[in-house]
Amino acid sequence: MGFGLEVKASGPLFNRPRRVTRNTTELFIRRLVEMGEQRLDGMLAPRPRGVYLSFQAAERNRVGSASTGHYRRNVNGKVQGLKGEISDGNVVYGPWLEGISSRNSPLRFPGYAAFRKTGQWLNRQVKNEARKFVRQLASRMNGV
């Protein structure tokens, strides 16, 4: 499970010194990836009945068959150039937890859709983050 993002930079602002523009754009992508990771971490946080609890928390709470936290620990993001990606490290049961596996029939576990919801949430956040990015880029171009 996972999703990626790619920024295509064009226009007069990006015809300026490429190094400053590229570095700031990479910072923008890194920020979006970090926001997505934090959002997923919150969505996959411990639940009262033991879902996604770490082994230590399960022992402490004496919860029955709680998760060891393997899935949550495998969710990570990476940035390469102008591309960012957040993935669950191809955990075998990732599609089932997301709800896109053939084993997720309407009568069974529907999945959490954590990646889908996070992707939709990030799409709504991009405009505000892009405004911050453009302000930061403009000040760097002006030598501030």
Query: Is 5's pLDDT higher than 80?
Result: no
pLDDT, position 33: 94
- Does the structure show a pLDDT above 60 at 7? yes
- Predicted confidence band at 139 (pLDDT cuts at 50, 70, 90)? confident
Query: pLDDT tens across 90-117, in order?
Result: 989 889 889 888 888 877 888 889 999 9
What ranges do the domains of the chain cover? 2-45+76-141
Picking from 102, 79, 96, 70, the residue whose alpha carbon sits closest to that of residue 33 is 79
Kindly report the pTM of this predicted structure.
0.73
What percentage of residues in the chain have a pLDDT greater than 70? 72
* Residues in contact with 58: Cβ distance below 8 Å, sequence separation at least 6, in sequence order: 50, 66, 67, 68
